[in-house]
Structure 1
C-alpha cells in the first residue's frame, strides 16, 4: 500500500509532535507510560494470529498472484513487526501532545475519510471506522470518565475528538504504524481485523485500568458516584406525568450522557444534533437506525411528490431532536455515511440517463439505503449487496424510459413505484426484502423485454434483409461488370448472364454469402461461360471439350435454381449449343488452314533445299494469328466484390467524407450494441434510443426505443456527423450506484488536492 492510500489521516492528532512538546502533568505522564506499555504488549501478541491467518489464506488463494501477495505480506510482517510496534508506541506518545480541535467534521469528512479512489481504500476506511464506532459504543461510559479526568489535567478542553487515549487515537496510531507497508489489500484488512479483535474489542479493561490509575492519583475520585446519582435523578418520574429520557432537563452539574451514548434530555446541552466535540458521547447506531426508521415512515411529509431532491438527513434529525427536547451527537463513521449517501443521491438525481419522474421515485430510497449503510458498514465495498443491486436494476430498466402525458399509468413506472413503496413500508433492518423485490422486478423486466425483443427482432430482420438485398445486388453487379466490360459476347451468352446467372448469384449471395463455396462455384461458372466463347481456337479446343460437360451441368442446375421457364431454358441451351458448334467449326477450319499452310511451307522448303541446303536459310511456316482473349481471374473477381462491399453504402452519402483520424468517425467503430443514446431531432423533439444492430453489409446502424420500435437509422457517415453535431449523445454506461460512488469519491479527492 503506497503512501497515497492512507485510510485515516493523523494530521490533526499527530501534527503536534512536530512542534515544541507540551509539558505534561505528572499524572498524565504516568498514564501515558502505563497505557503505552499495555497497548504495546497487546499489539505484540496479535502478530502470531496474523501469521496463522495469512498462511491459511494463502493456501486457499484463488490465483497465483493473490497467493504470492499474501506470502510476501507474511514475510514482510515478520521482518517489520518490531518496527511496527515501535511506530505504534511513538504514535501513542505523540497523541498526548493534545491541541484544541480547530474545525468541525465537515472538513475532516472532506479531507480524510473520502480521500479514496478504489474499493480497497473504502474497505480500509470502513474497517477502521467500524472498530472505532464499536469501541465507543461498548466503552462510552468509561471513555467519558477518562475525558472528564484528563480535562482537569490539560490546559485545553478534552473532548471525544482529541482524547489522547480515545478509540480514534488508538486506531489511528496503529493505522499510521502499518501505513508504510506495501502489502496485499487482503493482508492489510486481515491485520486491521486482528487489531480489532486483539486490541479494540478489549478496551473496556484498558479504560478501567486508566481511570483507576488517575483515581489513585486523586483525579476526580468520586466522579463515578456523582454520575450515578445524576442518572438516577434524571430518570426519576417527574410531577406532571411525563417520564423517560425526554421528560425533563438534565440535573445541574451533569455534563455526561446516559450509559451507551444515546440521546439525552436537553438541559445542560442545547436540544438538537450536536457536534462530536460538544462532550456528549455519540448515540449508538441502533438509536440512529430508530430515528431513521421514524423519518422513513413519515417521508411523504417532507419529500415532495413531484420533485427529485436529496434529503438533508442532518437537518431532519436536528428537527426531530428539537421537537423531542433531546440532544445527541453522531459517531464519526455514521456522520460520514450520512454525508456520503447524501452525495450519492445528489449524483443520482442529476444523472441525465433518467427521466425526472423516475428520479423522484428513486429519491425516496435515500433513507432506506442510508439505514442499510449504517447497519452494514460493508455496504459501500460490497458490490453484490442486494440493496445496491436493486437500485442498479431499477435505474438500468428506466434508462430508455420517457415520461408521456399519462406516465403514471405506464407499466414500468407503476412497477418501480410499487417497488419503492414496498421498500419504504416493509424495510426495517432485514435486507432480504431487497432480494425479494429484486427477483420480482427482474421477472417483470424479463416479460417486458421479451415483448420488446419480438418487435426489435422484426425491425432488425427487416433491415438486415434490405441490407443483404442491397449488398447482394451491388456485388453481383460488380461481378457482371467485370466479366462483360469491353467484351463482345454473343447475344445468347449475354442472355444467360443477365436472365439466369444474375439471379443465381443474387440468391447465392443472400443465402450463403460471398465467403461460401457455393458463391465461388457460381462465380467460376459465369467466368467459365464467358471464357468458353472467347477462348482462342483451335488452341483451346481440347480444354473447351473437357470443360463443356461440367459447364453444361452447372448451367442446368442454375436454371433449376431460378425456376426458369422451360421454353426459355431450351432456347438458351440451343443458342449456346449453336455458338459452340460454330466455334468448333471455326476450329476445324483454322486447323485445316494451318495444315495446308504447313504442307505448302514444307514443299517450299524442299524446293529451296535443293537449291541451297543451308539450314540457316530454312524458313519457318507462318502461324495463323490468334485473337488475344482476357477474362478476369478469380482473384480479380473477389477483389471487385470486396470493393463493392465497401464502396456501395458510401456512394449514397450526401455529406463530405470525414478523414479516418476524425474522433467521431473512429467512435462509430467503438459503439457497443445495446448502448443508449439521447437523440435530438429538434429543440422540441428529443428522445432516448438504443443501438439495436449494426448491419455490417452496408454499414447501417439501427436504433430502437425501449419498446423495440425503430426510431432512427444512420449510415456510418451520417452517424459520425450526428455524433459530431451533438444530435446523438451517448448516455453513460455502467451501474448507477457504482458510477455515483466513483464520481463522489473523485470529486472529494479533487477538492482535497485543491485545498493543499
Structure 2
C-alpha cells in the first residue's frame, strides 16, 4: 500500500486542476476572448502543466531549499521594458496571493499540522506548503508562461483564477482535512473554530464526489466511531458535540468538526483518561466545588456574579504572589505548579468561608489549561532564567484574559497570545544577564509587563498598545522604523507619497549596510543610483511582491562579494554568480539614472573592490569586529572548525532536511569554550551561494555558514535548534499532545 501522503497529493492535484480548467473556461467565455484565446487544446495543455507542477511542488516538501531554488541572481528584466498592463497583471496576482493569505484560510493550520505529522522532522510553512496560495499561484504562472499571453488577456485569466481557484481553496482544504481524518491522520485534531459550519456545509455539498472517491488508487478506509469516555458533569455539553460526529460520512464530519471549537476539544482531552492521569491538570481545582455548565447557564445573573468573584480572587492571588516575591530573599514558587497550588488554596478557603460558590465547569477547565500551557512554555528550551521569570509573572493575567475571552485558546491573532510570542521572541537571545542593564528592549519589556499587571481589566485595545510599544523597541534596537513600513503598506496610491517612499528606501538601505565593513564607494553607490532604482521599483510595484524580493536578494549577493571576510570555497561561489550579478546591477544602474559611460566606470571599480577583498583574505588581513562579534567567533565550539571541506550528506539526511527548512528568525544555540550559551538568529539566506547568515540579539552578524556545514554541526551535536517561529502555536499543540498521552506516574499509580 502506498504512503497516505501519495493519495492526498493525487486528490488535491485533481481537485485543483479541475478548478483551473473552470477558470480557463470562464476566461474564454468573455466575448472579447473567444476569437483569440484560450482554445480547448491550449487550456488542456495549461491544466496538464499545472497538475505536473503541483505534483512536483508536493514532492519537494521535504527537500532542502538549496536543492529546489533557482539562482536568485537570475536576470532581472528592466522595469522600463515592462508595459503598463503586464505590470498591472503581475501586481494583481501578487495582491490576490496577499489577500488570501491575510484572510486566514479556515482549516489551513490543521492541514499543516497533519502534513507535518506525515513528514517527521520536516517543518511545513508558507515556503514549502503546496496548499499555500503563493505556491499554487507559482504552479499556475509556470503553466501559463509558455503561452506568452497579451497583457490584457493575462490579467483577465488571473481574475478568473482568483475567483475559481482561490475562491474555492477553503473547500479544498476542508475536504483534504476530511480525507486525512478518515485515514486516521490526527483525527482528534479539529479545524479552526472560527470556521463557519454553514459555509463549510455549502462548500462540501457543491462537490458531487468527496475527494476520497475521486482518487481511484485510494484504499477504502472505514471511519471508526469515536470511543465514548465517561466525563463528569462539567463535560455534558462537550459530550453532546462529540456524539453528533459518531459514524458520520467524511463530508458531514467536516461540518460537525467545524462546529466544535478548539477549546471544547482541549476540554475533552483534559477530562479524558489520559488527561486525568496528569496531576497538574487538576492541581488548581482539586477538591474545589464545581457546577456544571448547564446548571450555571440556567441562572445567568448568578453565573456573572460568580465569574466576577473568581476574577477578584485571582487578583488577590496575583497580588500575594507578587508581594511574596518582593519580600522574600529566597526564590518564590511562581512556576506553573506553584501558581496552581496558590490558586487551589485560595479557592478552597473562599468556598469554605462562603465568599465564593461553586465555580463554573468551563472556568475550572480554563484555569487548568492555562496551568498546563504555562508549564509547557516554562520548560521550552528557548527560555533562559531571566525570560522564565518574566513569563511567570503574567500567568495569572493571561488566565483572567482567557476566562473573559476563550478565543485565547484558538485564535492566533488574539492580542494576548501575540504579546507572549513577541515577549519570548525578544528575549531568546538574552544569554548574558550582566548586559541586560544596557538593553533597551529588556527595560521596555519589564515596563510593559508592569503596566499589564497593574491594569485591572486589560482589554484587546490595551494589549495592542503594549504590543506596539514592544515592537517599536525591538525595531529601534535594530535601526528600523516600524511606523514607516506600516504607513507605506496602508497608502492607497504610492505615487502620491514620494517622501514616504524615499524615507522607506533609505531605511532599507541602512538596514542592509548596518554593521558592515564596506568600501565607501559601495556606500555612496547604494545611496545614489541604487536608491533611485529602488525608489522607482517601490513606486510602481510596492515592496511585497516577487520583484522586490529578487532585487533585495541581488543586493545581498553584491554586499557579500564586497565584504572583506572570506571563507573556504567563496572564490568559486564568487566566480559562479558574479557575471550574472554584474549584468543585473548594470540594469539597476541604468534605471537609476546612470549613463552608459558612468555604468562602465562603476562596473570597473566594483570589480577592483571585489578582487581586493579576496586579496585581503589571502593576505590574512581581517576586518575589525565588535567585542560581541569577536567573542562569539573565537569562543564558539564547531566540529568543522579548521576543515576546508566537509563530506557531503544525503539530501534526505534528517540534519540536512532540518537545516534546509529552517525559517528566518529561527534561533540556534552553540556552546562556548567555557561552557557558556551562544545564541544567534537566522537573519537572511542567499540561496545562490548556499549561505546562511546569523545575527545576535543586537542585529550584529556573528556567523556565516553553509547549510552543509551547519547540518554537520547539528549531526555532531555542537548546535541545537531552540526556536522555530513563534512559541504559542507550538505550545498549544504541545498541550494537546501532553493531554493525549498517559502520564507514566499516573499509569503506575493505577496499576498499583
Using structure 1 for the length normalisation, give the TM-score. 0.43
**If you compute each CA radius of gyration, which structure gives the higher value, 1 or 2?**
1
Which structure has more RCO (C-alpha within 8 Å, separation ≥ 6)?
2
